Amino acid sequence: MSALDVPAGDVLLQGDLVEAAGGEAVVVFAHGSGSSRRSPRNRRVADLLNERGFGTLLFDLLTPEEEEMDARTARLRFDIPLLAGRLVQVVAWLGATGAARGIGLFGASTGAAAALVAAARRPDEVTAVVSRGGRPDLAGPALPEVRAPSLLIVGGHDPEVLALNERALAAMDADAGHELTVVPRAGHLFEEPGALEEVGRLSAEWFRAHLPQ
Q: How much is the pLDDT for 40?
A: 82
Q: Please tell me the total number of residues recorded for the chain in this structure.
A: 213
Per-residue pLDDT of the chain (213 residues; tens, 9 = 90+): 677 888 888 888 888 888 876 656 899 999 876 566 777 888 899 999 999 989 999 988 888 788 788 778 777 777 899 999 999 999 998 888 766 678 999 999 999 999 999 999 999 999 999 999 999 999 999 999 999 999 999 999 999 999 999 999 999 999 999 999 999 999 998 999 999 999 999 999 999 999 986
Name the domain count of the chain. 1
Q: How much is the pLDDT for 72?
A: 83
Burial class (CB in 10 A: 0-12, 13-18, 19+), 100: buried
* Separation CA 75–CA 87 (nearest Å): 18
CATH number at residue 30: 3.40.50.1820
Q: How much is the pLDDT for 99?
A: 61
Task: Write out the H or E segment, with its range, that includes residue 113.
Answer: helix 110-121
What angle is formed at CA 99 by the lines to CA 97 and CA 101, rounded to 5 degrees? 115
Burial class (CB in 10 A: 0-12, 13-18, 19+), 2: exposed
pTM: 0.93
- Nearest Cα to Cα of residue 30 among 96, 70, 73, 82: 82
Q: Which domain holds residue 43?
A: 2-210
Burial class (CB in 10 A: 0-12, 13-18, 19+), 3: exposed
